[in-house]
Structure 1
Amino acid sequence: MNATSSGTAPRPVRPMKVAMASLIGTAIEWYDYFVYGLAAAMVFGPLFFPAFSSVTGTLAAFATFSVGFIARPLGGIVMGHFGDRIGRKSMLVTSLLMMGIATVGVGLLPTYEAIGAWAPVLLVTLRLIQGLGVGGEWGGAVLMAVEHAPPNRKGFYGSFAQMGVPAGLILANVAFLGVTAGVSDSAFLTWGWRVPFLFSAVLVVVGVVIRFAITESPDFEREKQSSGTERLPIVAVLRHNARAVALGAGAFIGINAVGYIYMAYLLAYSDEALNVDRSLVLTFILLGSCVWLVTVPTASALSDRFGRRTVLLYGSGGLTVTAAALFPLVDTGRPLVILIALLVTGIAMGTVYGPLAALYTELFPVRIRYSGASLAYQIGALLGGGLAPTVASSLYASWRSSLPITVYLTATTLISLGCVAAVRRRHIRDSTPESRLSTIQKPGKAI
């Protein structure tokens, strides 16, 4: 029985409150994820893999970074199952707690010098827990924002969850910049690197309080009351929506590969290959992330007006160009050129990343949407960002040149451009009455 038939007025939907809660929660989770990536670039090699050379130690550290991506599809499947069965909200709280516990655990972890081989083993274990948490986080946060949104503003409101990625990167960079500026290099290597990880405990408490205060998705509640829930959502996804999963994953590979090179590998590369000051590169990445953050809602609002596919095609084309130019520009070693390259790349990434949230929700019906969107996104993340820093480290170690990295990034962005081009109106679906009405009235805005 719904709220109206029982005589009680339904609770008013406040999309901006939910969108802000998605932004804050995802920013905290991605902060946790990115402090690991920055630490992998800066200190994990000598602290957890001291027997290796500098290059090999960095490669091993990024391999542990990639391990988290292996767990992300599993996290998406498990939390997607319960998110489609019992609701979005409870999975968001669960994922945030998993992420926070694992991140604080890394900050408390003894190094190789203290416990030997157990140190990298425990590091990998905690990274796997991080992967499980973030695997279920993205789908729930995006769905809560999009499913609370008005039919003609789903792209804009969905972008708030997407903004959590650059916001989390900004927080992580600020944390590391603050620590590196406040302590000596030896103190940073001894204990300073732990501070950003331990600070996560404060952020997680804030995030959990905020997420408990929001209401469940109205689309989910409506679907549950009218049709019930799917017993095995992931089976239904693979049986009826495999093409949508493939297109969604492919559309994400390029932006994710470029993003993790941008967020994690460039710091190690500029220090090792170019001998550019670490704090300077961190500052440039921070500025580029601010541009990325602003571009995400702008591009998403444009996708509400001109269609997801149109904006994504332009964005994916631009991302291919910037992927081809990024390392040649960085290799000049000139700070101004590096800054411009990172700022332009931030614009390209934001143009692609923002509208993807609404696109993913439109690819799957409500009853299996958490599972479908999470699976597509996390497979794309595994094939894109999960491999990118490790592949880039391996290519540079083998060739001692950035040219193979440029070829790799350009290839991944071309794959995504092709997948976006392959998305057609027949792939877009939405089972809510409001969205069906909107599609009928404004057919040109569906994708």
Structure 2
Amino acid sequence: MSSLGYAASPVGSNQSADQHTRSAVHDDVTPGEIAVGVIIGRSSEYFDFFVFGIASVLVFPAVFFPHFSKLNGTLLSFAIFSIAFIARPVGTAISMAIQRRWGRAAKMTIALFLLGVATVGIAFLPGYDSIGRTAIVLLALFRFAQGLALGGSWDGLPSLLAMTAPTGKRGWYAMIGQLGAPLGFVIAAGLFAYLYGTLSESEFLSWGWRYPFFVAFALNVVALFARLQLVLGRTYTQAMQERELEPVSVTRLIDEEGGHVAIGAFAALASFALFHLVTVFPLSWISLYSDQPITEVLLVQMVGAVCAAFAIVASGKLADRFGRRNTLGAMAVLIGLFSLATPLLLSSGVVGHDIFIIVGFVLLGLSYGQSSGTVTANFSPQYRYTGAALSTDMAWLVGAAFAPVVALGLSSRFGLIAVSLYLLSGAVCTLAALGINRALESRESAGAD
């Protein structure tokens, strides 16, 4: 989730744009502070998205699609959920242009401000019963804005951590930013579990569900100031410039190294496909076809998210010992095997549901911990910053954006075998992309010899 300046002008026009603001920052930024900034930033972003995802199951079908069945209302909510992932690469393209013109600080301020405004807009949004279809249109627009903002919030911190990692520790440093996912989910699920469990249904649907979106706005404000302090620091700025981690045009990237973007997107597909199939999808399936209490499901998912956090940490150790690509490939195989057990587990009652969630979260942690930037070394230095951002955007779009709506829609019609096939296809795509990447590297090595 990176960009680079032109070789002839490594700092680009953003250097003068940021010069005055950086002069007010006197303290150097340590690697530990960068790691904290990565986790804070990613946690706030993931919290935003998980709040919307959970609300797509528990709130939006009743508030915005009351005239549809619960299944169709949930499918429509998931369709709106996917809009942000469509908008995300667009946001990346726009934000790279903003950074080249006005600097990194301006880009991030605009992105996080837009994210906050969109989130608060959803919190205040009247339901269908009040303003009719306008409510649905506004919900979709706010969701699109969230996607634009997330695409624009790329700060390059994970890339910087990976590139400055000590020898043999790149996998460990690469997993740090991924810890924001389970942390964001635990906070979002815990908040919804509390509100859903303590309020009456009418209270929850009229005003209770809005509180998580207000909390998301508050977290965005905290994240904005924490990350701005980092990106304006002299140590951070110098390190980014020395490694040419500055933006280039997305069109130029596609023209020159679009193949690497495609490989980068598909290399992480198994992990990204699993992402929403263990977080958002189980909640929808169980709420529609099981009597298991929603608060209980959310609590089990919170336990799963904690397990995922430990698995993400473990992925760093595994990657440093066996290689990041080998680790990601091995996890794709395990995800493929897990997909075969999915129909049995999700049709086996509470125990099966819980096993699916816990095991799924562990596999997610092991794979997602190394999914970011596994093949970004393929990019030429001047394209690595933007290449990392756009590859991740495309992985989200291809692997995760439509997972909830496709999995729920197909499984409700053809059975849970559809979920199994969807997840299996992601594992196959990951193995194929990693194989292609390995073959290209071998060919380049042979050519160099």
Query: TM-score normalised by the shorter chain: which range applies?
Result: 0.7 to 0.9
1:206, CA displacement in angstroms? 1.3
Kept in 2, the 8 Å contact 1:84–1:369? The answer is: no
Question: What is the CA–CA distance in structure 2 between the aligned matches of 1:189 and 1:11, rounded to whole Å?
Answer: 47
Report SS of the residue matched to 1:276.
coil
The percentage of aligned residue pairs carrying the same residue is 30
Structure 2 residue aligned with 1:238: 254
The structure 1 residue matched to 2:396, chosen from 370, 374, 381, is 381
With over 3 angstroms needed to count, the CA separation of the structure-2 counterparts of 1:23 and 1:92, relative to structure 1, is farther
Q: Which residue of 99, 105, 110 maps to 2:121? A: 105
Map Cα deviations across residues 144-166 of structure 1 (whole Å, 9 max, x no partner): 43345445433222212111112
Which residue in 1 is equivalent to 2:407? 392
**Which of residues 198, 208, 211 in structure 2 aligns to 1:195?**
211
Map of 1:54 onto structure 2: 70
Report if the CA contact (8 A) 1:252-1:381 is conserved. Answer: no
Q: Which residue of 1 aligns with 2:45?
A: 29
User: Is residue 80–residue 140 contact of structure 2 (8 Å, CA) maintained in 1?
Assistant: yes
Provide the C-alpha distance between the structure 1 equivalents of 2:237 and 2:170, rounded to a whole number of angstroms.
Answer: 13
Asked whether the equivalents of residues 160 and 240 of structure 2 are also in contact (C-alpha less than 8 Å), the reply is no
Give the match for residue 437 of structure 2: 423
CA shift digits 1:266-295 (9 cap, x unpaired): 101111112221111111111111111121
Contact 1:139 1:373 in 2 (8 A): no
For the residues of structure 1 that align with 2:102 and 2:311, how far apart are their CA atoms? 34
Q: CA contact under 8 A between 1:155 and 1:357: conserved in structure 2?
A: no
Contact 1:92 1:141 survives alignment (8 Å): no
Matched, 1:347 2:388: no
Output one character per residue of 1:341-379: Cα deviation in whole Å (capped at 9) or x when no partner: 222211211121112224254232342223211211111
In structure 2, which of residues 284, 289, 294 is the aligned counterpart of residue 268 of structure 1?
A: 284
Which TM-score applies when normalising by structure 2? 0.86
> What's the C-alpha RMSD, in Å, of the aligned pairs?
2.6
1:221 to 218, 237, 241: 241
> Which residue does 1:367 correspond to in 2?
382
Q: Which amino acid aligns with 2:374?
A: L
What is residue 165 of structure 1 aligned with on the other side? Answer: 181
Partner deviation per Cα, 1:376-414 (whole Å, 9 max, x = no partner) = 111121111111111122213423x21222212211221
- 1:315 equivalent to 2:335? Answer no
Q: Deviation per CA, 1:227-266, whole angstroms, max 9, x where unpaired? A: x967x53233223322211111112222112211211121
Residues 154, 12 of structure 1: alpha-carbon distance in 2 compared, 3 angstrom cutoff = farther
**Does 1:411 find its partner at 2:425?**
yes
Which has the larger displacement, 263-272 or 248-257?
A: 248-257
C-alpha displacement at 1:212, in angstroms?
A: 2.0
1:419-438: CA deviation from partner (whole Å, max 9, x where unpaired): 1232228659xxxxxxxxxx
Report SS of the residue matched to 1:357. Answer: coil
Contact kept? 1:88, 1:143, Cα under 8 Å: no
In 2: Cα distance, 1:82 partner to 1:143 partner: 20
In the alignment, which residue of structure 2 is the partner of 1:305?
A: 321
* Matched-pair contact (CA < 8 Å) for 1:13–1:148: no
CA offsets per residue over residues 297-352 of structure 1, 9 Å max, x none?
221233133211111111111111122223421210133x3222222211211121
Question: Conserved in 2, the CA contact under 8 Å of 1:313 and 1:421?
Answer: no
8 Å CA contact 1:155–1:358 kept in 2: the answer is no
Aligned equivalents of 1:148 and 1:86: distance in 2?
26
For structure 1, the residue ranges without an aligned partner over 5 or more in a row are 3-9, 429-447
Distance 1:229 1:317, change over 3 A: closer
Distance 2:379 2:110 in 1: 23
Corresponding residue number in structure 1 for 2:147: 131
Deviates more, 1:84-93 or 1:351-360: 84-93
Of 352, 356, 364, the residue aligned with 2:371 is 356
Q: Distance in 2 between matches of 1:300 and 1:246?
A: 24
Contact 1:32 1:100 in 2 (8 A): no
2:342–2:416 Cα contact (<8 Å) kept:
no
> How many Å apart are 1:61 and its aligned residue?
0.8
Q: How many residues align?
A: 416
Alpha-carbon distance, 1:18 to partner: 0.3
**Aligned counterparts of 1:242 and 1:55: Cα–Cα separation in 2:** 39
Give SS of 1:423's match: helix
**Are residue 140 (structure 1) and residue 160 (structure 2) matched?**
no
Letter aligned with residue 113 of structure 2? L
